[in-house]
């Protein structure tokens, strides 16, 4: 066994598909698998935005279409299904119909195509958005346990389709069609993630706003800023995905940190990383999601003997540095934003 408990450092000869390989987590997943010696196919509706893919084979395909899912899953042993129509709270609350329809088509087609093409393992990326709203109505929430998903009351649109896809994976696994593994992501962030345009999540949006404002300036914060979340660095996410894929645990697992922070405090932490003094202007008219959401990692530790290791300050330092550098290389866009 290697030091990280994942067996040999090189999984020579393994062939994997990363669906959603043009997106944030999928792009990092491809790089992770390549370092382990995999032959990797990446598939997405678009090429990676910020740097070239390291995939051996990259196909631009719309995975809402059945025939494209069959093409994508051909001749691979492992399928990492990260493809999704998603974004930050503003996007997923304003596009319920599109998000639900698109993701149900992707997930149903990908699962069955992987089964028909003889894949040996299948990973599905679910979300903490599946957890009931009635368990997330206070900022000082305890960690959400996997069994807390039922009785169901997930977020509209995105949460409901994620929960439905979890059940599809369960049925395929129970009926011997395809071994499936499921992780519920808790707010993944890091370099190479979307930071503008409306689909960005809180760490990236806040990093962009602070990078663009002068020291002592003011930024807009959605909601009252007292809503709380836990955040997971992307390197921990992709390692967790791989560990879950190779575990014997077929039921969904939380993949996140259990360190809760308020959004106003998150702004202060990014400002500290940036070396700036920042004033906050809270906008109560903007979407802010549930009042509190945190991961309970008890089962993750029991199953894997591992949990995410990157501190929020370290992760934000890398994230802010990357976003700030991106903006510095686009002076015309920065000028237009001010």
User: Is 158 one of the annotated active-site residues of the chain?
Assistant: yes
Say how far apart CA 114 and CA 15 lie, in whole Å. Answer: 13
Say how far apart CA 121 and CA 245 lie, in whole Å. Answer: 7
Q: Of 41, 46, 13, which is closest to residue 29 (Cα–Cα)? A: 41
Q: Of 165, 99, 153, which is closest to residue 129 (Cα–Cα)? A: 153
Output the six-digit token pair for 287. 């979407």
| Cα–Cα separations (whole angstroms), residue 171 to 174, 227, 250 | 5, 35, 11
Say how far apart CA 211 and CA 224 lie, in whole Å. Answer: 21
Say how far apart CA 193 and CA 201 lie, in whole Å. Answer: 9
Q: Catalytic: which of 32, 80, 158, 320?
A: 158
- 292 touches 228 (CB < 8 A): yes
Say how far apart CA 255 and CA 158 lie, in whole Å. Answer: 18
Residues assigned a catalytic role:
158
């Amino acid at each position: 066994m290697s030091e990280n408990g994942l067996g040999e450092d090189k999984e020579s000869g393994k062939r994997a598909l990363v669906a959603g390989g043009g997106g944030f987590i999928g792009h990092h997943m491809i790089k992770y698998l390549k370092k382990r010696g995999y032959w990797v196919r990446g598939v997405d509706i678009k090429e990676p935005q910020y740097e070239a893919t390291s995939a051996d084979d990259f196909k631009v395909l719309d995975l809402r279409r059945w025939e494209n899912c069959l093409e994508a899953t051909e001749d691979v042993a492992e399928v990492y299904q990260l493809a999704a129509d998603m974004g930050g709270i503003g996007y997923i609350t304003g596009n319920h119909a599109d998000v639900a329809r698109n993701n149900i088509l992707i997930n149903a087609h990908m699962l069955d195509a992987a089964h028909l093409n003889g894949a040996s393992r299948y990973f599905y990326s679910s979300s903490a958005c599946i957890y009931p709203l009635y368990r997330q109505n206070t900022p000082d929430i305890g960690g959400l346990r996997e069994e807390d998903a039922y009785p169901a009351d997930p977020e509209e649109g995105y949460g409901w389709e994620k929960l439905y896809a979890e059940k599809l994976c369960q049925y395929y696994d129970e009926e011997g069609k395809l071994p499936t593994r499921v992780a519920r992501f808790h707010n993944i962030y890091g370099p190479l993630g979307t930071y503008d345009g409306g689909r960005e999540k809180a760490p990236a949006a806040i990093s962009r706003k602070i990078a663009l404002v002068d020291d002592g300036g003011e930024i807009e914060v959605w909601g009252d800023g007292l809503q709380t979340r836990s955040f997971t660095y992307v390197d921990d996410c992709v390692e967790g995905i791989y560990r879950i894929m190779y575990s014997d645990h077929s039921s969904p697992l939380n993949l996140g940190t259990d360190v809760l922070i308020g959004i106003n405090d998150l702004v202060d932490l990014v400002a500290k990383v940036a070396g700036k003094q920042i004033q906050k202007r809270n906008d109560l008219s903007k979407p802010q999601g549930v009042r509190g959401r945190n991961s309970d990692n008890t089962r993750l530790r029991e199953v894997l003997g591992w949990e995410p290791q990157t501190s929020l300050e370290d992760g934000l330092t890398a994230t802010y540095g990357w976003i700030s550098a991106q903006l510095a290389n686009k002076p015309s866009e920065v000028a237009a934003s001010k």
